[in-house]
């Protein structure tokens, strides 16, 4: 049994702690704020396998299969629902692009199909069908409650002995050559140190500073945070817009009905550079901008009331694919999820725990594709399909 | 307060539910908020947050002043979408 430290108490860190504990490893997890406070608790809840490249499609197909069994495995209601994702095309070129994506997704077993607007209207009763020609529909995509999912993993991890600490900031790593030997962290007013056999950097938007602590260049994995926001309406009757509905050509804007209370969550690709590392300040331009798209997608929304607006970070890499793998002898990273961390967590956590504990995995995760050193080598991947 | 007394009227959360989570080790108000959806309804926590603070203080032996209040979200009161986008369907 070895002792593994995980830095970052978001869904990736917490799920990986759970998977490592299942493999019999001793785990200590550090979160500098409260669990989920970084990006997980600010996400739009969506889970999809509708990507446009083999690596992300295969990873997400596996992840969705884990999501299907997660509630039973964790023994906790996480409100996972396969309500689908519906992408909408506004012109013929987009319809052609959808057809190509669908062909690729079908090749790897993802059952996406092209649907007409009559069928789309049946799936989303408040949809304005007029601007759209066709939809790409995968009924196996879905959504889950990010709060309950994180705590479900956390409760089970703690039962298996994981030492998970929040409000505990890591301030340094001790290393000898390419081996990290200890983690230094703040405990109340004093700095403590714990000897470890391996360290996982799961700090997402804050990962570059952890890499620097390991003696690496800060930008060895060039992750930059972008402020993305969401607006939510009052609860509507269930069934009005259960799938995530997105016309990508409308600035990646989307709506999705919250699986918990039926409010409509509205997102858009209107992004801002944060003014400081904790800049979660909502902006008025986003509020108005996102709602203009939302009422074009679903006109009845104009009668609803907005009850909340909040912000979080997309921790983006230059190709919008995460960096997953080994950076030094015993120092690993899973960060830079670019808005896809929540949906990928079940698959990535299992794969990463396998890598750290056993050196191999059955999870179909393409280690070359997500190689954290690809930026250093100037080998960018095709951009992961990203919305909102 | 009796256990089945409702603390959050927007989302029907009772004293019992809050106390059960605190006993499971969820003592951070930001986390209680998200698991129980207290303060996330149309009242924006005006009714429930002071009550949750007092339950949390009593249960954890802290003074209410030591417990940070969760960040309030905009808008302060619910606003009709129509008002924000200018009314038209576009």
Cα B25 from Cα A167, distance rounded (Å)? 14
On whether both A99 and A180 belong to a single domain, the answer is no
- Whether the pLDDT of residue A162 is over 60: the answer is yes
pLDDT value at residue A206: 97
- Verify whether the Cβ–Cβ distance A294 to B81 is below 8 Å: yes
pLDDT value at residue B42: 85
Distance from CA of B4 to the nearest CA of A (A): 21
A188 band by pLDDT with thresholds 50, 70 and 90: confident
B88 band by pLDDT with thresholds 50, 70 and 90: very low
Length of chain A, please? 388
Residues of B in contact with A233 (CB under 8 A): 81
Residues of B in contact with A266 (CB under 8 A): none
Total domains, chain A: 2
Chain B residues bordering chain A (beta-carbon distance below 8 Å): 11, 24-26, 28, 30-31, 34-35, 37, 40-42, 44, 71, 73-75, 78-82, 84-85, 87, 89-90
On whether both A198 and A309 belong to a single domain, the answer is no
| B1 lies in some domain | no
On whether both A94 and A67 belong to a single domain, the answer is no
Q: Which of A299, A316, A333 is the last residue of a domain?
A: A316
Residues of B in contact with A166 (CB under 8 A): 28
- Verify whether the Cβ–Cβ distance B81 to A287 is below 8 Å: no
* Domain CATH for B48: 1.10.10.1100
Which of B11, B30, B80 is the closest to A34 by Cβ? B30
| B16 lies in some domain | yes
| Substitution target from B72, B85, B88 for chain A, most A beta carbons within 10 A | B85
A residues 220-239 closer than 8 Å to B (CB): 233-234
Cα A90 from Cα A133, distance rounded (Å)? 6
- Whether the pLDDT of residue A121 is over 90: the answer is yes
ipTM: 0.89
Total domains, chain B: 1
- Verify whether the Cβ–Cβ distance B42 to A307 is below 8 Å: yes
Q: Which of A276, A297, A316 is the last residue of a domain?
A: A316
pLDDT value at residue B1: 65
- Whether the pLDDT of residue A189 is over 70: the answer is yes
On whether both A165 and A249 belong to a single domain, the answer is no
End-to-end alpha carbon distance in chain B? 51
pLDDT value at residue B87: 55
How confident is the model over B15-70, as pLDDT tens digits?
A: 999 999 999 999 999 999 999 999 988 888 888 999 999 999 999 999 988 888 88
On whether both A30 and A172 belong to a single domain, the answer is yes
**A380-388: average pLDDT:** 92
On whether both A231 and A308 belong to a single domain, the answer is yes
Torsion of CA A104, A105, A108, A109, to 10 degrees: -140
Kindly report whether the peptide bond that precedes residue B75 is cis, defined as omega within 30 degrees of 0.
yes
Residues of A in contact with B12 (CB under 8 A): none
Which of A261, A282, A305 is the closest to B80 by Cβ? A305
| B90 lies in some domain | no
Cα A206 from Cα A209, distance rounded (Å)? 6
- Whether the pLDDT of residue B89 is over 50: the answer is no
Domain coverage including residue B55:
6-85
Which of B78, B80, B90 is the closest to A292 by Cβ? B90
**A307-313: average pLDDT:** 96
SS3 state of residue A191: strand
**A171-185: average pLDDT:** 97
- Whether the pLDDT of residue A265 is over 80: the answer is yes
Picking from A325, A281, A361, A309, the residue whose alpha carbon sits closest to that of residue A66 is: A361
Which helix (H) or strand (E) segment is A347 a member of?
Answer: helix A341-358
Residues of A in contact with B85 (CB under 8 A): 288, 291-292, 295, 302
Cα A373 from Cα A221, distance rounded (Å)? 7
B90 band by pLDDT with thresholds 50, 70 and 90: very low
- Verify whether the Cβ–Cβ distance B89 to A295 is below 8 Å: yes
* Residue A171 neighbours by CB distance under 10 Å: 13
pLDDT value at residue B70: 86
On whether both A240 and A352 belong to a single domain, the answer is no
Query: Percent of chain A, pLDDT > 70?
Result: 100
A residues 55-114 closer than 8 Å to B (CB): none
- Verify whether the Cβ–Cβ distance A305 to B82 is below 8 Å: no
Residues of B in contact with A144 (CB under 8 A): none
How confident is the model over A136-149, as pLDDT tens digits?
A: 999 999 999 999 99
Query: Percent of chain A, pLDDT > 90?
Result: 98
Which helix (H) or strand (E) segment is A13 a member of?
Answer: helix A11-22
Widest pairwise Cα distance in chain A: 64
On whether both A161 and A309 belong to a single domain, the answer is no
Distance from CA of A338 to the nearest CA of B (A): 23
On whether both A290 and A232 belong to a single domain, the answer is yes
How confident is the model over A197-255, as pLDDT tens digits?
A: 999 999 999 999 999 999 999 999 999 999 999 999 999 999 999 999 999 999 999 99
Residue linked to tokens 């899973």: A334
**A360-369: average pLDDT:** 98
On whether both A216 and A234 belong to a single domain, the answer is no
- Verify whether the Cβ–Cβ distance B42 to A305 is below 8 Å: yes
Domain coverage including residue A277:
85-139+226-316
On whether both A126 and A251 belong to a single domain, the answer is yes
A residues 256-275 closer than 8 Å to B (CB): 260-261
Does residue A63 or residue A277 have the better pLDDT?
A: A63
* Domain CATH for A352: 3.50.50.60
On whether both A199 and A294 belong to a single domain, the answer is no
Which of B28, B71, B78 is the closest to A234 by Cβ? B78
Would you say A336 and A323 are in contact if contact means Cβ atoms under 8 Å apart? yes
- Verify whether the Cβ–Cβ distance B82 to A306 is below 8 Å: no
Helix intervals (H) in A272-338: 284-297
- Which residue of chain B is at minimal alpha-carbon distance from A166? B28
- Whether the pLDDT of residue A292 is over 80: the answer is yes
Which residues face A256 on adjacent strands? Answer: A265
């Amino acid at each position: 049994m070895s002792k593994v430290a995980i830095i970052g108490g978001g869904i990736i860190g917490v799920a990986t702690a759970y998977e490592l504990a299942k493999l019999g490893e001793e785990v200590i997890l550090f979160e500098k704020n409260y669990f989920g406070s970084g990006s997980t608790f600010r996400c739009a809840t969506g889970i999809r396998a509708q990507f446009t490249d083999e690596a992300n499609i295969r990873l997400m197909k596996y992840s969705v299969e884990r999501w299907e069994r997660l509630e039973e495995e964790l023994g906790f209601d996480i409100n996972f629902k396969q309500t689908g994702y519906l992408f909408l095309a506004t012109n013929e070129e987009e319809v052609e692009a959808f057809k190509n994506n669908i062909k690729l997704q079908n090749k790897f077993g993802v059952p996406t199909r092209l649907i007409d607007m009559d069928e789309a209207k049946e799936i989303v009763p408040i949809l304005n069908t007029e601007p759209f020609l066709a939809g790409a529909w995968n009924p196996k995509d879905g959504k889950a409650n990010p709060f309950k999912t994180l705590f479900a993993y956390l409760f089970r991890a703690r039962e298996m002995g994981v030492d998970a600490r929040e409000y505990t900031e890591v301030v340094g790593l001790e290393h000898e050559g390419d081996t990290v030997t200890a983690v230094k962290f703040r405990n109340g007013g004093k700095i403590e140190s714990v000897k470890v056999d391996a360290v996982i950097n799961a700090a997402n938007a804050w990962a570059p500073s952890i890499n620097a602590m390991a003696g690496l260049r800060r930008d060895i994995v060039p992750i930059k945070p972008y402020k993305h926001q969401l607006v939510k309406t009052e609860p509507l009757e269930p069934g009005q817009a259960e799938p995530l509905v997105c016309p990508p050509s409308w600035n990646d804007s989307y709506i999705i009905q919250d699986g918990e209370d039926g409010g409509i969550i509205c997102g858009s690709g209107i992004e801002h550079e944060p003014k400081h590392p904790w800049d979660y300040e909502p902006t008025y331009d986003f509020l108005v901008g996102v709602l203009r798209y939302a009422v074009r997608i679903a006109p009845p929304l104009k009668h609803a009331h907005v009850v909340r607006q909040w912000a979080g970070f997309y921790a983006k890499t230059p190709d919008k694919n995460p960096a997953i793998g080994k950076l030094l002898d015993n120092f690993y990273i899973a960060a830079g999820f670019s808005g896809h961390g929540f949906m990928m967590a079940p698959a990535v956590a299992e794969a990463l725990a396998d890598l750290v504990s056993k050196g191999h995995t059955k999870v179909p995760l393409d280690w070359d594709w997500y190689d954290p050193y690809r930026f250093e080598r100037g080998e960018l991947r095709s951009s992961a399909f990203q919305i909102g | 307060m009796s256990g089945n007394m409702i603390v959050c009227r927007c989302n029907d959360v009772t004293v019992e539910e809050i106390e059960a989570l605190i006993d499971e080790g969820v003592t951070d108000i930001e986390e209680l908020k998200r698991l129980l959806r207290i303060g996330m309804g149309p009242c924006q926590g005006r009714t429930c947050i002071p009550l949750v603070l007092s339950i949390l203080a009593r249960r954890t032996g802290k003074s209410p002043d030591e417990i940070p209040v969760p960040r309030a979200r905009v808008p302060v009161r619910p606003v009709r979408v129509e008002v924000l986008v200018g009314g038209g369907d576009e």
